[in-house]
Amino acid sequence: YQLIESRGFKYESHFVQTQDGYILQLVRLINPFVNRTKKRQLKPILLQHGFQCTGTFWLIAANGTLDRYGNYIEYIVDSDNQPITINGTKQMANTLGYVLATRGYDVWLANYRGSIYSSNHTTLNITDEEFWKFSIDEMIHYDLPAEIDYILKQTKRTKLSYIGKFYDVSINVDQ
């Protein structure tokens, strides 16, 4: 997650245990320009990556950085290796995780079981055949509730927003 810090943000790693023993990593994206008072007002949102991805899916659309005012500015590099801004402070950037973190959301990035960031279990080893015997059903019935419950407890909120992508189907639920 050096990518997060390279864009001027900070992060926290959290680990959640599911009912069936998988240990999932959640990454909380932190905008350092948000003060403590405003931090309590941020709306929690869970971003769930798609098949064969990780939570970094929501962070890699374009190069960018936080400016000195806390705005996220994206840019491309021209043929002379000079940055060209592709969005100004009044325009929306393309990298959803960073955009939400600068627009009043407490952003949490999920990592499905079996991904590089969620490859632990309480009793199984990643080399055990049994470790890999899961489907989207277990992800929905075990992973998602564990992640949501954890985030609600950490943020002391009763609801959160969810944006997810799986098998090229996008899901957006405002709970």
**130-140: per-residue pLDDT in tens?**
999 988 888 88
Q: What is the pTM of this model?
A: 0.78
Can you give the pLDDT at residue 35?
A: 78
In terms of pLDDT, which residue wins out, 86 or 38? 38
Can you give the pLDDT at residue 170?
A: 46
User: What are the chain's domains?
Assistant: 14-62+94-174 (3.40.50.1820)
Looking up tokens 């470790």 gives 131
**82-135: per-residue pLDDT in tens?**
655 555 544 445 677 888 888 889 999 988 887 777 888 999 999 999 999 988
Percent of the chain with pLDDT over 90: 36
